[in-house]
Each structure stands twice: as C-alpha cells, then as structure tokens.
Structure 1
C-alpha cells in the first residue's frame, strides 16, 4: 500500500512524503498520488524514527513486567522505530538455539525493529564466553551481560577478541560487584541524609578503566552502557583521544536527575547505575554536548507495581523510558535553546544507527520509511494512564513537556497514531 503523508514539516520546510514498499519514494513540496492512502501530518514536524540501543522487554520469562508486543507498542508511542533488546530474559539469550528463537519471537510479535543482543558469558555471570562466532552469524547485533558487570578481566578480554573477529560490538554494564556493598543509591551525602546504603561510584569507573585498556589491546568496538559519573566521562574522553574504538550512551534520567533530588525514600528514583551527584550530572551533559558521549538510550526497565513500591531497600532497580525520552530531551535541551533539533536527532537516531551499523537515522528518498511525527508546539503532562508499556514506573509522571508523538511509521506501515487524548 502507498501512503502519502501530507503537510509535514521537515527541517522547517513543508513537504509531502510518499511511502511505498517500505521505503521513502518521494519528498516534494506537493505530491498528488490518487491511489495512495492519505495521512495528514497537520503541519507537525516529521523526524527519522528514533533508535534506542538499550531496552528490556522481559519476554520470555518475565512477561508480568513487559512483553515484546507491549514493549514495541511503547516504543512506537515514544517515536522509536528501532530498539536493541538486552539478553537478560529467562532463559538468558546465551546460546545459538535460544538466540534463533528470540529473534523469531521479536520478528513475529513486534511493531518495531528489534535488534537482539546476546550474552557475553553463560547466564550472564559465568567466566566462560558464549559461542560468539555462531551467534554473530545468526544475527546478534552485539554482546553484553547487561545487568551484570563482567567481573573477570580474562573473560572480558577473550570476549572482546572474539567479537573483534566477527566485527560485533561489546556493550558493557560496567560494575565491580565488590564495591557495591548492598547499596541502593549513590554513596554520598544524600544517602547519608536518608539513612540508605550507598553504591560507590568507583564500582563503575574502576571497571571502565580496566575495560578501556582491554578494548585498546583488542581493537573491538567497545560500547559503554548508561554512563553515570564524571570520572567515567573523563576516562572516555582520554580513551577517544588515544584512538580507542569506544562509544557511550547516557540515559535521560542521568541527564535530568541527581541524588540531591531524592528527598525521601522513593522507589521510583531507584535505578542502576544510581542517580549520581549534581557535578556528575553536569559532566554527563558536558560530555554529551562535546561528543564524548555519543548517544542517548533509555535503559527502558519495566517492573510491576509491587516491585516498585515500598522502600528503596527492597524495590527493584530501574524505570521505564521509551514513552518519555523524546519529550524530556526535547523540552530540556531543544526547547530550552541549549541545542538544535538536528543535535537531538543525532543523539537519538543518527548516531546510534551509524555506530551500530543499521539503516536508520535519515529522511531521504530510498531510505527505509521509518518515521515519526511530533507535535512540538502544544505542552502536555506525562500521564501514566497513557503508557502502552506494562511498566508504569517513572519518576517523571506529571511533568509538563513538549514533543508529543502523533504518529510513527515502521517500514511504511502505521505503527502508532495518537487518538488525541493521550
């Protein structure tokens, strides 16, 4: 079916866009196509579909938290057309047979493109690397033990060497377990004030320093997940100057929140890595602005209401992010005048697509018809009742933002359309 998007604002120019056979067939000031279905963009802004390299869809094994179907609906609602799923489901995606089944499930159940990570080591915690070569051949986008730091340097180094051979990235959740000490938030004055055990930021930076040395020796594309400390930004900046093939992501919550904002024992503010200090948050923003940090990723982590209630001592780590990320970043970075829209597109679409070598991030004739239409003019409040994710665990509920998704197209098909009341 042909779809003709009318009255779309593309880089401040009013255009029509014709979608056919899953690609963008034409972009003109006016297109007349009698046999196309008309979609009126109503003079809203059209952007390349967003790309999130870090999501948790919990399926299989944890579907009370999220499913592939619901997670993909949430992605489309947030303007995302491509997401990268972590392997920490049950069973863990740590062998070729499970990976084949997972990729098939993703394809059959999702409204958006899902690129599947496989585990670095068996069950995410063993010291034996998985069959990286075979899983790369089967279509793994890369390898990660997300949710766990790789505790053994030899395991990480061997994984890097194998990933380098098959030209796949290693994405690292950097965390030294020996420095966590049962913490539930960042170690510092805020934790002391609340009487809560703190997580030492050295747990991140010490393992990152180790991995950057290994990455330089191996030559692998090494990607740092959810970077959170100023020391990590400095290490990353130095490594890039030395020619290490390293990229990094930062999550919206680490850009917008810090531990001084945790004024009470609030499970919605519990995530891993934890919210750090104001100086850490400023360093993350600085690293994003100067290109040290390459992209924004949500670390979408849905949990049940029970798991995110009560005390930070017992609640699960993590928040949802797919349905709030664009509006939060647009409001705080673009609407505020700090950066322009193209910079946001680079952070949330073009850069992740380029760094992970997928065909996304641009609107041009011949490109895949993965697009999102955003209302940038009318403010709204983030409302948990409009979430399509099973997870409702967000500290941003009620915040006034701009950048509401009006429609999302995946391969030329309408994956989400606002009903007007969301």
Structure 2
C-alpha cells in the first residue's frame, strides 16, 4: 500500500496540519511534511476527523435484501464518513445465535468498505420471552458485546435484569429500545397537539421515559452497563442526567433526525416522517441538542433504517417506520450542533467516533489522530452546501426525510486502515 500525504487539513477543526499515512497506520502528523512517492491529497482546510462509528445501523441482511445488504449498507456508511458500524439484530432470521452473527460479521469483512460489528438479540426471535445465546454470540468469531432487541422493547423486567446480569460477565452492554408496548398500541406519531388535530394515535413520551427509568434502576441494582437507544424526549434526558449523577453506568444516543425534525412535519402525512420513536416537539429537539452538548447524551447514532419504495410510498397508517441516515448524519450534526455553536469539531469526533467505539468496546476505532494510530479517517469539506438528492445515495433505499433540503458539509475522503474507500466524494 502506497503512502498518502493529506496536506493542510484542520485536524479536529484546529490549525492546518499535514498527515502522512503509511500502510494501515498514521506515520506522522505535523506541518510541512513530505514523503517521496506519496500520493498527495490537498485538503485546503477541510476538517479531518477520526473515522466515524455508528452504534445503531440496520443492514437488513439476512432476509430483507430488498431494503439493504451488508455491501450496500457499508458503501453508504463509507460515503457518510463511517469506518465502522454496529449492525442491529432484527434480521430474518434474527441474529440471536452465533451462526447468524458470524454470517453478518463475515459479510462485513467481504465488503471492505467499513468494519461491521454485529449486535446480538437479547431474546430469542426478539419475542421478549427467553434469553438468546448471549454467551455463545460473545464467544463467536464476531465477539459480540452489544445486545439489543431494537425494533422491540425488552419490556419484561425479569428478562431485562437477567440480560444485564449475563452480559456483566464479559463487559457487555444491553442497548434498550425504550417503548412500553401497552402505552403505544396503535400509536402513529408523537402524542400531543398535532396528533390530536390530525386524529392520529398518539405515542406518549412516558412510554419511553418509564422504561428508561426502570432500566437505569435495574442497571444500578445489578452493577451492569445499559445503553439507551434513540432517546427522543426532554423527560428522558432528565432521567439519564439523574442516573449519571448517581453514578449509574448508563449511556445514551440521539439520532440526527431527532436533533432536527419535529412532529409538525407529520401534518403533510408524508410517511417519510414516520419513525420509531416518533418525531417529537420543538422543545424536545432543543433539550436533545443541549444534552448532546453537555454530555448527558453520549453519542449520535443514525438508526439507519432502509425500506423499499413500496413500504414507504403508501398511506401513513400502512407505512413502515424508519429513515435512512448514514449518508446525511454528519451534515445534520454540522447543521444542528456545529453551525449553531453547540459543539466544536473535536466534540463531534468525541460524540461520533470516540465514545461510540468505547461503548461498543471496538478496538482500532475512535482513536486519536496521531503517529502510530490506525489510519481510520474522515475528511469533510465543511464549507460545502448542497441539496440532498437521494438518487445519488449508495444505500439501496431512498427513504430520507431530507430530500430537497439544503444541508452543509460533504465527505470528500474516507480511509479504512489507510485504504481510501471514498475519494473526492465518490466511492473508491
């Protein structure tokens, strides 16, 4: 592998520096670097970040290859600046055995666009009745440490406690989809003024908040790690903040769409805005931004949820829930957090690379941009402004809520262990 010299990049948004990649690692970081025979990339003040890590991605394979495959999903990830993704377990068959998680892990290895770390199901078939083979999945070649029934809540407190106890033995974490099912039967959108005016079934904030409150107490009792998926309400923020003040080992994520979009968009009845958890109010959005800024919310995770055209281009009530997000995540974070002054680029690296890798115990990612470290890197032209056009997505699906919206930032290069997966904004 030849040497690559990135010249004049703002490392973590700081002063321009040069970064020399030699093989799979960073050889040197400094000013005025040179290397004979190296391929030179003129960064011209673009932002250089450690490769992004997504703790919450739906790659759909096996079973729903009409929506996404590991190959198309990782190509989308690379296009968005990601060098690693954690693949959720709600596939067909469910990733609740060592065999299925190893299949996903091997497909990721074959794709070559980013590392794929499978997430194992907490319960058999996501049915919430019996613990899945957590130990076997951890001991498999995939080395699973994150477990989730995402798409469904582990609503049985006894099952949740047992899962927390089990994963503690190997420093694993249970990632909870916080949704009390009895409070959300028939729910179609956030419960509030808009749902009342539209006559759509309301999804109350307490359905999320009650599960989070229960689970942080269970985690405290057991002395284990719990992670809250796609936190979406101001009340949830306060519960997590309280739990952290008590020293409970809880982490939480927010999606890009919950940092930007509100339930007012549902007035259009466009199913592209139908998502789980639902889009909330402007007050919730502001609370989420502030919590991400102050560290109460640890990370940004995309909850990339691809669906084929026929599952979204239909009446609201019949439409599937979910949005694609890998290719727009960094732009939305720049728009909502950086351009508003809530985060600087070093903090973005922390929330979108360092902490996700740490929560998932993923080695080789989320590392400093320094000599001797793996060359997992993302180069972003933060001055770019462009209109989102899903026709150009690498993902197999097009269900983005940002079509036609102008967003800042464009990933120009992504490097996975020194190999360019994206060059000049195009897949390599």
Matched-pair contact (CA < 8 Å) for 2:410–2:425? no
Aligned equivalents of 2:22, 2:233: Cα separation in 1: 45
Q: CA deviation at 1:225?
A: 0.2
Q: Aligned ranges for residues 309-324 of structure 1 at < 5 Å?
A: 309-324=313-328
Does the 8 Å contact 2:411/2:425 carry over to 1?
A: no
1:40 aligns with 2:42: yes
Quote the offset at 1:6 in angstroms: 2.7
Counterpart position of 2:89: 87
1:8 aligned residue: 9
How many angstroms apart in 2 are the aligned matches of 1:13 and 1:207? 44
- Cα shift at 1:402: 1.5
Residue among 337, 343, 348 paired with 2:347: 343
Equivalent position of 2:365 in the other structure: 360
Cα contact 2:108–2:114 (8 A) shared by 1: no
Cα separation, 2, equivalents of 1:286 and 1:43? 28
Counterparts of 1:187-202 in structure 2, within 5 Å, are 187-202=191-206
Question: Superposition pairs for residues 117-266 of structure 1, below 5 Å?
Answer: 117-138=119-140, 139-266=143-270
CA contact (8 A) 1:194 1:264 kept: no
Matched, 1:395 2:401: yes
Query: 1:252-290 CA deviation, whole Å, 9 max, x = no partner?
Result: 111111112322211011000001122222221222122
1:110-130 Cα offsets, whole Å, 9 max, x none, are 410111110111011141111
- TM, length-normalised to structure 2: 0.95
**Kept after mapping to 1: 8 A contact 2:153/2:179:** yes
Query: How far is 1:156 from its partner?
Result: 0.8
The reply to whether residue 285 of structure 1 matches residue 298 of structure 2 is no
Distance 1:394 1:28, change over 3 A: same
Distance between the aligned counterparts of 2:47 and 2:293, measured in 1?
23
| C-alpha distance in structure 2 between counterparts of 1:316 and 1:110, whole Å | 30
Return 5+ residue gaps in structure 2 as ranges.
none
Deviation of 1:343 (Å): 1.8
Cα offset, 1:82, TM superposition: 1.2
Q: Does 1:73 align with 2:78?
A: no
Answer yes or no: is the 8 Å Cα contact 2:179–2:207 preserved in 1: yes
For the Cα contact (< 8 Å) 1:68–1:110, is it kept in 2?
A: no
Q: Does the CA-based 8 Å contact 2:289-2:337 persist in structure 1?
A: no
Q: Distance in 2 between matches of 1:281 and 1:42?
A: 34
> Once the 2 structures are TM-superposed, how far is the Cα of residue 309 of structure 1 from its aligned partner?
1.1
Classify the secondary structure of the residue corresponding to 2:40.
Answer: strand
Pair 1:412 & 2:418 matched: yes
- Give unpaired runs (5+ residues) of structure 1: none
Q: CA deviation at 1:240?
A: 0.8
The answer (yes or no) to whether the contact 1:73–1:416 under 8 Å persists in 2 is: no
TM-score using structure 1 length: 0.96
170 and 420 in structure 1: CA distance in 2 versus 1, 3 angstrom threshold: closer
Name the structure 2 match of 1:379: 385
Q: How many residues end up aligned between the 2 structures? A: 421
**SS state of the match for residue 316, structure 2?**
coil
Q: Distance in 2 between matches of 1:231 and 1:12?
A: 35
Query: What SS class does the counterpart of residue 313 from structure 1 fall into?
Result: helix
Q: CA deviation at 1:412?
A: 0.4
The answer as to whether partners of 1:115 and 1:141 remain within 8 angstroms in 2 is no
Cα distance in structure 2, aligned partners of 1:237 and 1:300 = 26
Other structure's SS at 2:84 match: strand
Looking at structure 2, the residues matched to 99 and 181 of structure 1 have their Cα atoms a distance apart, in angstroms, of 31
CA apart distance, 1:418: 3.0
**Greater displacement, 286-295 / 55-64:** 286-295
Aligned to 1:99: 101
SS at match of 1:248: strand
Deviation at 1:302, TM superposition (A): 0.5
SS where residue 409 of structure 1 aligns?
A: strand
Structure 1 residue 405: Cα displacement: 0.6
Q: 1:305 aligns with which of 284, 289, 309?
A: 309
Q: Is the 8 A contact 2:128 2:155 kept in 1?
A: no
Deviation of 1:30 (Å): 2.4
